[in-house]
Amino acid sequence: MIDGHIHLENGPLTIEYLEKFIDVAIKKDIKCIQILDHTHRFIEFRPIYENVKNAAKVQEEWFLKKSKDSIEDYLKLIKLAREKEYPIEVKFGLEVCYTSQKEEETRNILNNYKDKFDFIVGAVHSVYGLLYDMEKFSRELLWNVYDTDDIYKEYYNQIIKLMESDMFTQVAHPDTIKLFNIYPTYDLTKTYNKIADLALEKDLYLENNFGCYYRYNHKDPGLSKELKELLLNKGVKIMLASDAHIPEHVGQCFELWTN
């Protein structure tokens, strides 16, 4: 079993901290873990967050707290870890906050580093420059201001562009826009089909990410039933993802997965 999405975000970029995640994976009989961090941790990626930063003061404050390390420190950790031998496979990558507005800049920055990574996850975390998943301010900035159908259409428009960009090997939490249980009035089946076909065409993994379930108390243990069935029927590659932000959450909720 693979856990395809594990963050070092809340700790230092050190071997000691990394090995805490490896220890939990070994205990839970997970054979491979994919370590990553958001690009917003790394100052080299600051240019791709201009829209998010400028959209609202609270987002600027949020961003400046997150953007604190150099990617060179992460690369040093990766090099050290690759020199060691672990009883499980440990892969390294990034979770890139994709927006079509910053696609070219993102591509240019990624080109400097992408050969250092085993995988690159693309994620949509904002709509119109507004973060959609923040308990403290997303309702006020986004959900209470914009039409829900428009938010969903723009979210999936961004997911599709992300998949078409050829920058990624994996798509993070493809339907997390539902996390506050706010749903559109239109039917998403056509969108889901498009995403499934694109995943096959581009040979992309789509995540079943448990983060929404155990961190936001959403009812779905990852993908919605409808999207999950459609992806499985079409033979799309699915990556189980704990989205762990602490070592104890490696492999979290994997027992809920059936296919």
Query: Which residues would be at the binding site for Zn ion (CB under 5 A)?
Result: 95, 123, 172, 243
**Euclidean distance between CA atoms 53 and 39, whole angstroms:** 14
Does an H or E element contain 213, and which?
helix 211-215
**216 phi and psi angles, rounded to 5 deg:** -115, 5
Q: Helix or strand or coil: residue 240?
A: strand
**Euclidean distance between CA atoms 77 and 80, whole angstroms:** 5
Q: Which is nearer to Zn ion, 8 or 22 (CB)?
A: 8
Q: Which is nearer to Zn ion, 51 or 234 (CB)?
A: 51
**Euclidean distance between CA atoms 51 and 29, whole angstroms:** 41
The pairing of strands 32-36 and 126-127 is: unpaired
Q: Which is nearer to Zn ion, 123 or 163 (CB)?
A: 123
Q: Which residue is nearest to Zn ion (CB)?
A: 123
Q: Least separation, in Å, of the C-beta of 172 and Zn ion?
A: 5
Q: Least separation, in Å, of the C-beta of 54 and Zn ion?
A: 21
Q: Least separation, in Å, of the C-beta of 33 and Zn ion?
A: 13
The single residue listed with the structure tokens 């420190």 is 73
CA trace torsion 59, 60, 61, 64 (10° rounding): 120
Q: Which is nearer to Zn ion, 228 or 249 (CB)?
A: 249
Q: Least separation, in Å, of the C-beta of 168 and Zn ion?
A: 13
Q: Least separation, in Å, of the C-beta of 21 and Zn ion?
A: 14
Q: Which is nearer to Zn ion, 123 or 230 (CB)?
A: 123
Residue 33: beta bridge partners? 3, 90
